[in-house]
Chains A and B, each alone.
Chain A
Amino acid sequence: MNIIVNNNPETIEGDTITVNQLLQLKNFTFRMLIVKINGTLVQKGDYETAAIHDADDVSVLHLISGG
């Protein structure tokens, strides 16, 4: 399937992938993250189950300290 991750097109094997699987696949190991699928926030407790499908637009924001 073809999805968008942080504005970049990505081809992923299979028809669906969970948020956790995508984070592992992309090696996004940061502790503080905001994940959105098509603009909607995915709650932390749903990373195991939230499914990403073909044509979905996923945004992963990595939060760092400072301000």
Chain B
Amino acid sequence: MTFNEIKAILQHKTVGIAGAGGLGSNCAVALARVGTGKLVIADFDVVSESNLNRQYYFFDQVGKPKATALMENIKRINPAVSVLSHNVCLTKENIPLLFADCDVIVEAFDKADQKEMLIETVLTVFPGKPLVIGLGMAGWGMNDAIHCRKSDNIYICGDEKSEIAPDLPPIAPRVGIVANMQANVVLEILLS
């Protein structure tokens, strides 16, 4: 497939990004660069200085809502992408409304309980909808441990082991690998 053929397919696709932190911001940017038609982005948080070690934001965006800042950055990269950004905390009540039209949903939360809530909600209200999750990407090195596997309609990207801790922080290279791996799985689903 040529890049023009790829773009022709992707321009009709919608991808939901649940969380605009390390996974969500980098995954959304990769999907914007290849010409995904529409991105639905939701996050409640604002950009802080400590986020800049891995998240796709700039120093002058500190203090801005992540959903807004990410939309701005995507528009600077590829203005053709339509971005719906929601500055909200995702819950089991609003997830079904916000992501109903998405062809694929990307789970890009930080906290395990939020990941659990999103996966349970998607499996309950959208059984069969592809859901690409990030699981285990703290620290550095250990490239070989990062993998992708499929469990029914859930695609799991990460090492499934490295949980964040004070001496095992999430930092750009490994978070970026998993975020781009998620984007790569999304493309595989959308182009198949």
Interface residue B40 (Cβ < 8 Å from any Cβ of A): no
Inter-subunit contact A34/B116 (CB<8 Å): yes
Inter-subunit contact A32/B120 (CB<8 Å): no
Interface residue B35 (Cβ < 8 Å from any Cβ of A): no
Given A32-B115, A33-B116, A59-B151: A67 in contact with B110 (beta carbons within 8 A): yes
Given A32-B113, A66-B136, A67-B170: A41 in contact with B164 (beta carbons within 8 A): no
Give Cα distance in the complex from A66 to B115, angstroms.
10
B70 to chain A, nearest CB (A): 14
Interface residue B22 (Cβ < 8 Å from any Cβ of A): yes
Interface residue B39 (Cβ < 8 Å from any Cβ of A): no
Interface residues on B, range: 35 or more
Residues of A near B23 (CB, < 8 A) are 67
Interface residue B130 (Cβ < 8 Å from any Cβ of A): no
Interface residue B29 (Cβ < 8 Å from any Cβ of A): no
B180 to chain A, nearest CB (A): 14
Q: How many residues of A contact B (CB 8 A)?
A: 18
Among B19, B116, B135, B152, the residue within 8 A (CB) of A39 is B152
Inter-subunit contact B135/A63 (CB<8 Å): yes
Inter-subunit contact B19/A67 (CB<8 Å): yes
Which one of B22, B135, B137, B164 has the highest number of Cβ atoms from chain A below 10 Å of its Cβ?
Answer: B135
Give Cα distance in the complex from A14 to B71, angstroms.
55
Give Cα distance in the complex from A25 to B137, angstroms.
29
Give Cα distance in the complex from A62 to B21, angstroms.
21
Can you list 21 A-B pairs with a CB-CB distance of less than 8 A?
A32-B113, A32-B116, A36-B151, A44-B120, A61-B156, A62-B160, A63-B113, A64-B135, A64-B136, A64-B160, A65-B111, A65-B112, A66-B136, A66-B138, A66-B164, A66-B170, A67-B24, A67-B110, A67-B137, A67-B170, A67-B175
